[in-house]
Amino acid sequence: MPIGRKLREEALATKGFMPPNEGDALYAAACLACKTLPGLALVELGTYCGRSTVWLGAAARKYNTTLFTIDHHFGSEENQKGWEWYDESLADPTTGRLNTLPLLLETLRRTQLGDAVVPIVGESKVVSAQWSQQLAMCFIDGGHGDEPARDDYLGWTPKVALHGLLAIHDVFADPGDGGQAPHRFIYLAALDSGEFTEISATGSLRVLQRINGSSS
């Protein structure tokens, strides 16, 4: 079953970078993960204003589990002033610095997904270092530089439970299509580890499943 029409419209009305067909694929993957590993949580890295969060949160609510969505809310490099994906309306008038937290809270209010979605405001690496629960699914869409991509891979993939899913956004095999860090340091790293196998590809979204290896 696809996501309900109203929630899908709310997702599409939310600022962000998740194309509709990839959001639908993310929802399907999240539902599969929840069915496979009942009760285990979902984690999203890179909330921004909560666009992809709506698809993931809808799945979490349907299966009675929780989505933790993690972001420091200051934006990635490419969201800063002078860069390609800068949105001036998201700048904090006092500091001038990007702040997407108010819009995330507004998205959760509009969608009434607050009972299934827990925002964590912080640096991905700091949170992963203290995170001990196994996950049904981890969706990585945070920093796309080499270092943050490596950190997210090392910090979060060990938390994905056996048969759980690792979804990665902005995976581009061809450098002409986009930055290489998610492809090289997350997607290929996961496949090369022998611990994951690919189960679907939609646009730049890749969904892998853990087939072996211990989770921590």
Enumerate the active-site residues: 144
Whole-angstrom CA distances from 160 to 23, 76, 100, 207 are 20, 24, 27, 13
| Residue 86 interacts with ligand SAH (CB under 6 A): yes or no | no
**183 burial type by CB count under 10 A (0-12 exposed, 13-18 middle, 19+ buried):** buried
Q: Which lies closer to ligand SAH via its Cβ, residue 73 or residue 159?
A: 73
Q: Which lies closer to ligand SAH via its Cβ, residue 61 or residue 144?
A: 144
Answer for the pair 165, 205: CB distance below 8 angstroms, yes or no. Answer: no
The residue to which tokens 């998201």 are assigned: 90
Size of the site for ligand SAH (CB under 6 A): 21
Answer for the pair 33, 165: CB distance below 8 angstroms, yes or no. Answer: yes
Work out how close the CB of 24 gets to ligand SAH at its nearest, in angstroms, rounded to a whole number: 13
| Residue 18 interacts with ligand SAH (CB under 6 A): yes or no | yes
Q: Quick one: what does residue 170 bind among Mg ion, ligand SAH, none, with the CB cut-off 5 to 8 Å set by partner type?
A: Mg ion
Residue (of 203, 159, 145, 130) closest to 44 by Cα position: 159
Answer for the pair 106, 73: CB distance below 8 angstroms, yes or no. Answer: no
Work out how close the CB of 58 gets to ligand SAH at its nearest, in angstroms, rounded to a whole number: 13
| Residue 143 interacts with ligand SAH (CB under 6 A): yes or no | yes
Work out how close the CB of 8 gets to ligand SAH at its nearest, in angstroms, rounded to a whole number: 14
| Residue 195 interacts with ligand SAH (CB under 6 A): yes or no | no
Tokens of 45: 């890295």
| Residue 149 interacts with ligand SAH (CB under 6 A): yes or no | no
In the complex, which residues of this chain contact ligand SAH (CB under 6 A)?
16-18, 46, 48, 51-52, 70-76, 100, 123-124, 141-143, 148
